């Protein structure tokens, strides 16, 4: 074998060995990249599992609020809306099958008669999912130093055991007139908080009074 052929064979061998070394290195890098990708995917899965768990916990811990109110001339409705803007949750207006007249004198006569009769005016409002709520903010105007009789219908119709009831009212000056105690009597297995009384002339401007009350009762 002459010298030239020997050198040629050596060159081919060196090129082959270099080729093998480069090939192995590329494969190793690919392995590393695949491993890194797998780690990243696993980490993302763990993070998304944690987020899911946190969301479930928030859903579990979050108390659901329902604001239920009766309002004939809109004052209690103003306060109900303010409460909802501060605490969130759902809001429902209680309405009677037989609407009350707008004329004050006629309304007064009917309301007084219902009170004298201890009547239970039929409600057209039906709250099917009341069980879903933890806290019921219950609002009403004061009529003859009492709740309108429609509120008694509501308290008779719904079992609020285990819930927190936060009563609020608007009035010309009488204030709560002992109505939270009546609510507690009607719903003995509910927790009734201290009530909020707002003057009818201040209903639309009662944001700070409502906030102070919420702070006081811890809601």
Q: Which residues contact ligand FMN (rule: CB under 6 A)?
A: 71-77, 107-108, 111, 141-145, 170-174, 200
In which element (H, E) is residue 165 found?
strand 164-171
Q: Which is nearer to ligand FMN, 133 or 140 (CB)?
A: 140
Q: Which is nearer to ligand FMN, 147 or 165 (CB)?
A: 147
Those residues whose C-beta lies under 8 Å from the C-beta of residue 136, and which sit 6 or more positions away, are 66, 67, 68, 130, 160, 163, 164, 165, 166, 190
Q: How many C-beta atoms lie closer than 10 Å to residue 144's C-beta?
A: 14
CB of 150 to ligand FMN, least distance (A): 11
First to last CA, the chain: 100
CB of 82 to ligand FMN, least distance (A): 13
| 99, 105, 106, 108 alpha-carbon torsion, rounded to 10° | 70
CB of 174 to ligand FMN, least distance (A): 3
CB of 142 to ligand FMN, least distance (A): 4
Q: Which is nearer to ligand FMN, 143 or 152 (CB)?
A: 143
Q: Which is nearer to ligand FMN, 65 or 77 (CB)?
A: 77
Report which of 145, 135, 143 is spatially closest to residue 166, judged by C-alpha positions: 135
């Amino acid at each position: 074998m002459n010298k030239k052929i020997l050198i040629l064979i050596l060159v081919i061998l060196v090129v082959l060995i270099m080729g093998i070394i480069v090939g192995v290195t590329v494969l190793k890098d690919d392995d590393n990249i695949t491993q890194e990708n797998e780690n990243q995917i696993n980490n993302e899965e763990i993070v998304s599992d944690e987020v899911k768990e946190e969301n479930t916990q928030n859903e579990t811990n979050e108390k659901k609020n329902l604001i239920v109110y009766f309002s004939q001339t809109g004052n209690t409705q103003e306060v109900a809306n303010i409460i909802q803007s501060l605490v969130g949750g759902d809001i429902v207006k209680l309405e009677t099958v037989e609407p009350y007249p707008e004329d004050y004198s006629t309304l007064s006569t009917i309301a007084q008669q219902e009170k004298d009769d201890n009547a239970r005016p039929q409600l057209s409002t039906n709250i099917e999912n009341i069980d879903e709520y933890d806290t019921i903010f219950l609002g009403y105007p004061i009529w003859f130093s009492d709740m309108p009789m429609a509120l008694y219908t509501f308290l008779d119709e719904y079992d609020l055991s285990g819930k927190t009831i936060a009563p609020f009212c608007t009035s010309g000056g009488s204030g709560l007139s002992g109505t939270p105690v009546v609510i507690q009597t009607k719903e003995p297995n509910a927790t009734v908080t201290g009530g909020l009384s707002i003057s009818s002339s201040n209903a639309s401007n009662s944001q700070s009074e409502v906030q102070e009350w919420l702070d006081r009762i811890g809601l």
